[in-house]
Structure 1
Amino acid sequence: MEFVEPIRDKKKIADIKKYLSDNKRDALLFTLGINSALRVSDLLQLKYSDVIDKSGNPVDYIVLRDTKTNKHNRLPLTKKVKKAITEHVEANYSNDLNAYLFQGRKKTGKPIQRQAVYRIISNAAEAVGLNNIGSHSLRKTWAYHSYKAGTDIVIIQDMLNHSSPSVTLRYIGITQDDKDRAVLSLDL
């Protein structure tokens, strides 16, 4: 498996959203992925009942059990995620709350496969001039931008279920150069 990076440039994130905007499923997949600490395997298990109420309105929180760790997670939904859910529901929802949120075009009743997610994300990234971006980049992007926004590394570590802050820093691509710049920028 190839090592993938987070998407560090917010302009590139906007470019990918624009690239995916014609396909509401893929746009939601990307938007939800970069706004959560969810693994792709957890994203693919989501059903409409996880993200909308009986009236078709987005819920405030997704509550699920992590497929890898079996832990319960409660994830608040941001405004942009709710907007993407609404657009996806308007374009694709067939009044079956038990249907998978990210179904394939053939409507087999199953979610798309991980390989399809990789192709969607890597093709979109390539189209906007990014390399080393894949499905796992979604989760890494959330972690990277959370860290850059000032979220305590221990909270990010917990949400990613990592064993230590150093593992999390390495995971999101915070390098020794970044650490050196942080120290040198103060020069008190």
Structure 2
Amino acid sequence: MNKRTIALSAEQYKEIIQTMKQGFSGCRPNERIAAALMLEANLGLRISDIVRLRLSDIVKDGERYRLSIIEQKTGKARVFTVPLALYQFIRLYCMDNNISADAQIFPLTTRQIQKHLQIVCDYLGYTGISTHSFRKFYATEIYTKNGYNIVLVQKLLQHSSAAVTQAYIGIQQRELEQAIENHLCLDV
């Protein structure tokens, strides 16, 4: 993990994805890379696992869809529910791009994605952002939208401890600063 890599804000996420989809002078639109990063931000997988995904990795299980993979970095099995809207997004993307269920959804290298992301971030003036920022964005969003439950995020990311997860998403320092700000007792 690159400690200098920051988690994206929601605004940065939206601006990066929109810029990738639209392109700009000197950089063509790239729907494929935008979609890969959107999946990373919505599944919390590493980009190395995103580029290996196939539609057939997502299976219907009763009323829900489940994704079952072996994480490339850790070798750990990971099985989790894919929200219906996200499954439909992936399925439609595959249909629109004539990608069969057993083919890689994103026949790209992580390096290609990183290079394109760097070009877009340079254009937007963002620093400290890499593909891993999208996984950190996922973790931070889950954390803040689920009652600041660090153990939940730890389990989703398959970290070895809550302390690792806290350091990963950098919440601890923000919480300390917020606690100090909230404690001010100036009215006497």
- Normalising by structure 2, report the TM-score: 0.76
Deviation at 1:120, TM superposition (A): 2.6
Tell me the alpha carbon deviations over residues 87-114 of structure 1, each in whole angstroms, 9 at most, x when there is no partner.
42233224x32211111xxxxxxxx212
SS of equivalent to 1:6? coil
What amino acid sits opposite 1:182 in the alignment? A
Q: Which moved more, 1:140-149 or 1:117-126?
A: 117-126
CA contact (8 A) 1:19 1:124 kept: yes
Distance between the aligned counterparts of 1:40 and 1:102, measured in 2?
10
Aligned to 1:107: none
Aligned to 2:106: 102
Aligned to 2:20: 20
Measured on the aligned residues, the alpha-carbon RMSD in Å equals 2.7
Q: Which has the larger radius of gyration?
A: 2
Distance between the aligned counterparts of 2:19 and 2:92, measured in 1?
15
SS of equivalent to 1:35? helix
- In structure 2, stretches of 5+ residues that fail to align are 22-28
CA contact (8 A) 1:24 1:88 kept: no
Listed as ranges, the matches of 1:23-102 within 5 Å are 23-51=30-58, 60-78=65-83, 81-82=86-87, 84-94=89-99, 96-102=100-106
Distance between the aligned counterparts of 1:42 and 1:119, measured in 2?
17
Distance between the aligned counterparts of 1:151 and 1:29, measured in 2?
27
CA contact (8 A) 1:30 1:121 kept: no
Verify: 1:5 aligned to 2:1, yes or no: no
Higher relative contact order structure (alpha carbons within 8 Å, sequence separation ≥ 6): 1
**How many residues get paired?**
173
Aligned to 2:132: 136
Q: 1:120 aligns with which of 116, 123, 130?
A: 116
What amino acid sits opposite 1:66 in the alignment? E
What amino acid sits opposite 2:124 in the alignment? V
What amino acid sits opposite 2:101 in the alignment? L
CA contact (8 A) 1:5 1:133 kept: yes
